[in-house]
Amino acid sequence: MFGERISEEVFMRELLKCSFCGFCEWVCPTLKAEESRLYGPRGRVNIIIFAIKDGVWTDLGLRSIFNCLVCGACNTQCPAGIKISEYIRSFRYYLISREFRPCFIAK
Amino acid sequence: MAPPIKEILRIIVENVIRVGMPIPVSRRVVFKWAEGLGLKKNSETILFTGTLYQLVPYITSIVGRLESIEKSKLSSLLMSFGAKLSGIADRLLVRTPRGEIERQYEVLRRIVALLKKTDTRFGYLYEDDMYSGALLYDMGLDNYFREHAEKVYDRLKDLGVETLITVDPHTTYIMKEVYREVLPRYSLKVKNYLEVLSSSDLTPYRIIRKDVTIHDPCYYARYLKIVEEPRKLLRSGGINIIEANRVRELTFCCGGPIESISPTLSRSVALMRMDELSTSCKNIVVMCPICYANLSRVKAVDTNVDDISNYLYSIYCE
Ligand code: SF4
Ligand code: SF4
């Protein structure tokens, strides 16, 4: 799931497998440290889905995506087999290559 | 107020383009530790440090400063002039404690001493020892990562390298899994030094009766499945492992990967992990310089955080 190889269709196809059961949450270090549910894997899956599907985007969402440890703990828990951390990392690239692109490092 | 994400990303990219590493240190910092060890430069198999152990003391200094800015009342003002972060990083480089740099150099020297106990013949690239690009990849800076990976790979091939022996989880994962995905022509073999040691049937030089607990790094435990090797090596030398609450595949991150984006959140995660580990045992074994740095900054005075290579050296080397 590197660079331009991941499309919006792939994000949606994979992340819409999420049933929002929340099993992934208990292992997430950043969710334990922060009050907002957006700082957990289920929250991050939601952030990505709503950003791509409806263009909903907030500063808190941005911080949450870049504050993920990409530690992979959530992946071990997901009954739908979603490689959550890999999609979060890839979504950073999606942001950097689109509206979040820092102009001085545009690439 | 947390450091501005775009600014942090810009600094990382600029540094990697300018000096090949995320922190602008001199090349000598990378290979100074190997002086006097007599490692050959030309070898098909090389010890590839990925520069992480060498850079960690500098990263720690910068993170400490970022954390105090994050807490400061002046933070929003400072952060609005985000470009100043580069200046802060530059000034801190000269103030990084000598003892910490030497400590990390000693870890690398001990890894060399351990590898010399095996049948594996290996060399070292000195000024051509390189950064893998791990942070570019983690942050989703994929195009910069690809460019960097191509440069690193081309240089390694020019030097006739066929096999890498890696020493930390991040570099191992990047060189073993990610380069293979990103560069279709990639052909290097990658082994982690713990795998090399574990498959070498080393005989302990001395038995050490000590209780420890292990902090599995996420990349070893979940991504690379290096879990039994360190345990086998420690147990063979008499070490008693008291397993903590979350270990192996279910290990809990040290918080290190977000130390530059959110130093305070990173510290909160480290505190939770330290609490779990130190409840099991006050001797904590780590296997990654980033885990070492992030757990060390929250440890109590009666708790000892030490790299596995120091234990293994005491067991297997005279
Ligand atoms: S990879 Fe990110 S979302 Fe998943 S458990 Fe780790 S910090 Fe939480
Ligand atoms: S465990 Fe999987 S399916 Fe359940 S909320 Fe998390 S991502 Fe969605």
User: Is B92 found in the same domain as B159?
Assistant: yes
Ligand 2 proximity of A75 Cβ (cutoff 6 Å):
no
Choosing from B154, B173, B197, the residue where a domain stops is B197
User: Is B221 found in the same domain as B178?
Assistant: no
The two three-digit tokens of residue B317, written as one number: 């080397």
For residue A79, report the distance from its CA to the centre of ligand 2, in Å: 7
Contacts A69 to B, Cβ<8 Å: 218, 253, 255, 257-258, 269
Closest-CA distance, A34 to chain B, in angstroms, reads 8
Q: Check: CB of residue B126 under 8 Å from CB of residue B41.
A: yes
User: Is B120 found in the same domain as B220?
Assistant: no
User: Is B172 found in the same domain as B304?
Assistant: no
Looking up residue B215, the CATH number of its domain turns out to be 3.40.50
User: Is B186 found in the same domain as B238?
Assistant: no
For position B97, what pLDDT does the model report? 84
User: Is B217 found in the same domain as B182?
Assistant: no
For position A101, what pLDDT does the model report? 52
User: Is B160 found in the same domain as B27?
Assistant: yes
Choosing from B164, B197, B230, the residue where a domain stops is B197
Ligand 2 proximity of A82 Cβ (cutoff 6 Å):
yes
User: Is B135 an interface residue toward A (CB < 8 Å)?
Assistant: no
Q: What is the pTM of this model?
A: 0.93
Q: What is the pLDDT of residues A11-22, one digit of tens each?
A: 999 999 999 999
Map out the domains of chain A with their CATH numbers.
3-96 (1.10.1060.10)
Nearest CA to ligand 1 atom 4: A74
Q: List Cα–Cα distances, A93 to B109, B166, B287, in angstroms.
A: 37, 27, 29
With a pLDDT cut of 70, the percent of chain A lying above it is: 91
By C-alpha distance, the chain A residue nearest B10 is: A105
Choosing from B169, B197, B225, the residue where a domain stops is B197
**Number of domains forming the structure of chain B:** 2
User: Is B193 found in the same domain as B101?
Assistant: yes
User: Is B188 found in the same domain as B63?
Assistant: yes
User: Is B16 found in the same domain as B165?
Assistant: yes
| Ligand whose nearest atom lies closest to the CA of A16 | 2
CB proximity list for B71: less than 8 A, separation 6 or greater:
B264
ipTM of the complex: 0.93
Domain membership of residue B265 as a residue range: 202-316
Distance of alpha carbon B301 from alpha carbon B143, whole angstroms = 43
Q: What is the CB < 6 Å shell around ligand 1?
A: A 27-30, 41, 44, 68-74, 84-85, 88
Owner of token pair 């950073």: A92
User: Is B239 found in the same domain as B100?
Assistant: no
User: Is B186 found in the same domain as B61?
Assistant: yes
The series of mean pLDDT values per 10 residues for chain B, 318 residues long, is 80 93 92 96 96 94 78 52 52 75 97 97 97 97 96 98 98 98 97 98 96 98 98 98 96 96 95 97 98 96 97 96
